[in-house]
Structure 1
Amino acid sequence: MHAVGVSSFGARIIARRRSGISSISGSQAMAVLRMMSLVHSRSLPPTHLSAESFNGRNRIVGAQRLWPTVCTTRSWSSQIRADAGVAAVDATKKAAQSGAFVDGLLGVESEAGRRLTSSQIIFLGTGTSEGIPRVSCLTNPEKSCAVCLAAAQLGNKNRRRNTSVIVRYLAPDGRLLNILIDAGKFFYHSALQWFPYYGIRNLDAVIITHAHADANGGLDDLRDWTNNVQPHIPIYVGLRDLTVMAKSHYYLVDTSVVMKGTAVTKLQFIPMSEEPFEVHGLKVTPLPVWHGPGYRSLGFRVGDVCYISDASEIPAETYPLLENCDLLILDALRPDRSSATHFGMPAALDEVRKIRPKRTLFTGICMSWIPCSFAKQFFMGCLLLQYLMKYLMAALCEMTEMTGMMHTMDHDKINAELAKLLDSEGLDVQLSFDGMQIPIDL
């Protein structure tokens, strides 16, 4: 057994030798830990890393923090993404394999280079504005949020970034065009993970649904493309939203205000109305919806795919645009109720019953409503009720696990319940997840 000391970061690495396997150098082990962000803080607990033989090669198969909530350590496929686990890392290579960057880990098999035979849609993000997991849940000493704790594990489908999809349009002339819908705050992190994996390099257009940060907060990051991949990127955005962005993204909308010599993203803003328009020959139909009282947001239809990521109400004039929909991608924030600006699952299901698409995937998913820890802190603040609330809170937390009202927007559990609708109502409804790929006919 060979030990590698990292006491300055309050962690240790144990590299185990097995029959026919060479030991892992300290520099390789430290590099992997840095990539996994496990040694960036002195407060982190000790960590151990093991090397095992896998298909005749040395691979680091996992890293575990030595505390009660321990991440599972098994190899996983980013194609299936069914279980929480750690991606295998080839410890003998210094460079990343082609198309292999998943949450800071190298060596994951990718689909880059595989020839597409149809258009497809890829979910870059399926979460709400804050994303999942949330820092407040991970740092809560009570560790009461099961969804966020699960999402902290690599490969878990509860890990969600800002809602965004990329439409990969296989044009009649054979060109493969990448059309991004929304570039929010987490866009660059999504691109790091999924662009190499799916072999996506260029961005042929970006379409913005509305002027909130979870839809356009990543526009500045497009400079990596306009500096290194392509000269500019067309941005399709509603005129009202462009007026807002002229203030929030003033230096992107009006580059004349930028200091000379400063690198700035080269974007071509194209105002759009609520009428259909074309992007590189692909017809795009706006789907006007309400994203809270008086606030207009846009969904979009391409072919028979309808995408509505931020909505609290669908106006009457939009329903005809949703007829004969094969795939509906719809906002569903919480399992129990709607908010002022987003459909909850009951309201979203009512919309599915009206529209009757062949298939529905929910997006914009939150971890859930209110953690038990918050309610406990609130009630325990009432000193006269502490003794009574000790028992009431235990009953409350037990109840919420049954009703799905608090912190139970778990991907697999919710999908198991939604699957029952196929038999009872003929509705094919499931939650989407980050990295999900769907072939579509355009």
Structure 2
Amino acid sequence: MKITLLGSGGSAGLPQIGGPDGRGDWGQADPAEPRNRRTRPSIVIETDTGLRILVDTGPDLREQLLNCAIPKIDAVIYTHDHADHVAGLDDVRILNRILEAPMPAYAIASVWEQLRARFSYAFREWKGGFFGRPAFFTHDIVEGTPFELFGLSILPIDQDHGYSRSLGLRIGDFAYCTDVVRFEPAQMEALQGVKTLVVDCFTPDNNHPTHAGLGTVQGWVQALKIERTILTHMGPAMDYAKLRRTLPDCIEPGYDGMEFHA
């Protein structure tokens, strides 16, 4: 599989709105480093046959797909219903036009309930014709139960997101685990044998109620013996160059547009 990190930032992106000149608050991140400019977290998984699975439709979706030169999406998986993961849903209508069909989409039942309430127009029955709104073929998935998509066996992993829950995704020896504050024993068991992990790491410390910090992630890497860990959902205290300089070789910060195979 080819993995593209569309976005690697937190829910407010980086820079965040504000700053002394109104052009952005960079926190502790160097604005001169282009890899510190981060949009909201999302990935695309491309199979060996060229089919592409988009994970989440955040508010930066249009910009992300253009920047990463991704011309078509064949299916969508939603990890949870927070705005930074779903607010770009309306852009699916353009993807529908390219696909010439409603978008196959996968989520747990509670996420579909929320999306239908917030984007009701997108879930009316599609009766053919021009895609003036998003249209979906919805599929329910269940935490802990693998499902098949484009020849891939995908395991949805229930995750502790502080005040809510989210899904991690495991495909073979690759896992994508954004928006998680801690792994419980069941999640650690589900991640045994993973070689490449893209994982939530919002802060250099461990004082956030809904997102993992660097010390927590390093503990997971050591316990699970992960060969390559890529950090995502990084906040304004996470400077790319400093992280590259101080982290062990097996852990690295991700960045928007990063590509790798797993």
Q: Equivalents in 2 of 1:141, 1:216: separation in Å?
A: 25
* Unmatched runs of 5 consecutive residues or more in structure 2: none
State the alpha-carbon separation in 1 of the partners of residues 35 and 114 from structure 2.
34
* RMSD of aligned Cα (Å): 2.3
Using the TM superposition, give the Cα deviation of residue 143 of structure 1 relative to its aligned residue in structure 2, in angstroms. Answer: 7.9
Structure 1 position 431 matched with structure 2 position 241: no
Q: Name the structure 1 match of 2:174.
A: 305
Matched, 1:150 2:20: no
Higher helix share: 1
For the pair 1:252 / 2:126, whether they are aligned, the reply is no
Contact 1:222 1:265 (8 Å CA) reproduced: yes
Q: Show CA shifts across 1:289-316 (max 9, x none).
A: 11113x2210001121011011012121
| Structure 1 residue 142 displacement after superposition | 11
Extract structure 1 runs of 4+ deviating beyond 4 A.
Answer: 140-146
Alignment deviations for residues 41-97 of structure 1 (CA, whole Å, 9 cap, x no partner): xxxxxxxxxxxxxxxxxxxxxxxxxxxxxxxxxxxxxxxxxxxxxxxxxxxxxxxxx
Bigger Rg over Cα = 1
CA distance in 2 between counterparts of 1:300 and 1:228 reads 26
Other-structure match for 2:235: 366
Counterpart for residue 169 of structure 1: 47
Contact 2:16 2:24 in 1 (8 A): no
State the AA in 2 paired with 1:120. Answer: K
Same amino acid, percent of matched pairs:
28
Any unmatched runs of 5+ in structure 1? 1-118, 369-408, 423-427
Cα pair distance change 1:358/1:134, threshold 3 Å: same
Instruction: Please tell me whether the aligned partners of residues 148 and 367 of structure 1 are also in contact (alpha carbons under 8 angstroms).
Output: no
The answer to whether structure 1 residue 132 and structure 2 residue 14 are counterparts is yes
Letter in 1 for 2:174: V
Conserved in 2, the CA contact under 8 Å of 1:291 and 1:313? Answer: yes
Identify the match of residue 185 of structure 1 among 33, 50, 59. Answer: 59
Aligned length: 260
Alpha-carbon distance in 2 for matches of 1:417, 1:149: 19
Normalized against structure 1, the TM-score is what?
Answer: 0.56
Q: Which residue of 2 aligns with 1:322?
A: 191
Residues 252 and 147 (structure 1), Cα distance of their counterparts in 2 relative to 1, 3 Å cut: same
User: Within 5 A, what are the aligned runs for 1:380-399?
Assistant: none
Residues 138 and 148, structure 1, Cα contact 8 Å, conserved in 2: no
Alignment of 1:160-239 (within 5 A): 160-170=38-48, 175-195=49-69, 200-239=70-109
Cα deviations by residue, 1:182-222 (Å, 9 ceiling, x for unpaired) = 11111111011112xxxx32211111100111111111101
TM-score (norm 2): 0.92
Question: Partners in 1 of 2:24 and 2:72 — Cα distance?
Answer: 44
Deviation of residue 140 (structure 1)? 5.2
CA displacement at 1:252 relative to structure 2: 1.3
1:157·1:433 contact (CA, 8 Å) conserved in 2? Answer: yes
Ranked by relative contact order (alpha carbons within 8 Å, sequence separation 6 or more), the top structure is 2
Q: Return the alpha-carbon distance in structure 1 between the equivalents of residues 14 and 150 of structure 2.
A: 34
1:166, 1:178 within 8 Å by CA — same for their partners in 2? yes
